[in-house]
Amino acid sequence: MQLDLNQLRELLADLDKTNISELTLKSADFELTIRKEISLISGTLPPVETLLTGAGVSSQLVSSPGAPTAVDSVGRTSPASSPTVSTSPPLPSAESKWVEITSPMVGTFYRSPAPDESPFVEVGDRISTGQTVCIIEAMKLMNEIEAELSGQVMELLIQNGSPVEYGQPLMRVKPD
């Protein structure tokens, strides 16, 4: 499949006129994925800039060009509300030694094998490598998630029946 620069420009212009938020074109020799911002009723989401530091993670919202502004008594403009949100690095604690068990897929989180059965694990339970700790349902398939380490379950982070994303932490374990 040949795609020259003019065709790509036309495709981008046509895509901009639709509600399509993502488009993927694949051929034997290339793959092109186009994503655009999702529009809200009141405008678009501002871009989110995530800064990784050596001590932890901080997030900052950056105002978009169309964001509302306020005018002070001197006539200077400034954002109407402070769009910046920062989180300070977490303090070292016992929690920093805990290991997260994360979701290997997108799906629905279940703590037990059936609604009327007891959960696979509870906070405080000891788990071993290979032990089933939960189920993620994806496309009508029940996928048992096994522990990759042994230790003690310290926190359950997801409610039963909640949707989960790929890589989302499910629980925290204090390793042996």
Q: How many helices (H) and strands (E) does the chain have?
A: 1, 16
Total domains, the chain: 3
pLDDT of residue 167: 94
The answer on 58 and 127 residing in a single domain is: no
pLDDT of residue 51: 35
The answer on 160 and 103 residing in a single domain is: yes
pLDDT of residue 43: 46
Closest of 82, 101, 84 to residue 164, by C-alpha: 101
The answer on 171 and 110 residing in a single domain is: yes
Assigned domain for 86 exists? no
The answer on 170 and 100 residing in a single domain is: yes
The contacts of residue 67 (CB under 8 Å, 6+ apart) are: 43, 46, 79, 80, 83
pLDDT of residue 56: 40
For the chain, what is the mean pLDDT?
Answer: 74
The answer on 31 and 51 residing in a single domain is: no
Q: Which domain holds residue 60?
A: 45-79
Task: Identify the CATH number of the domain in which residue 160 sits.
Answer: 2.40.50.100
Assigned domain for 13 exists? yes
Global pTM reads: 0.47
Closest of 130, 126, 123 to residue 170, by C-alpha: 123
Residues of the chain with pLDDT under 70: 1, 37-95
The answer on 16 and 72 residing in a single domain is: no
Closest of 148, 145, 136, 53 to residue 99, by C-alpha: 148
The answer on 136 and 101 residing in a single domain is: yes
- Written as six digits, the tokens of 84 are 């910046």
pLDDT of residue 38: 56
pLDDT of residue 94: 52
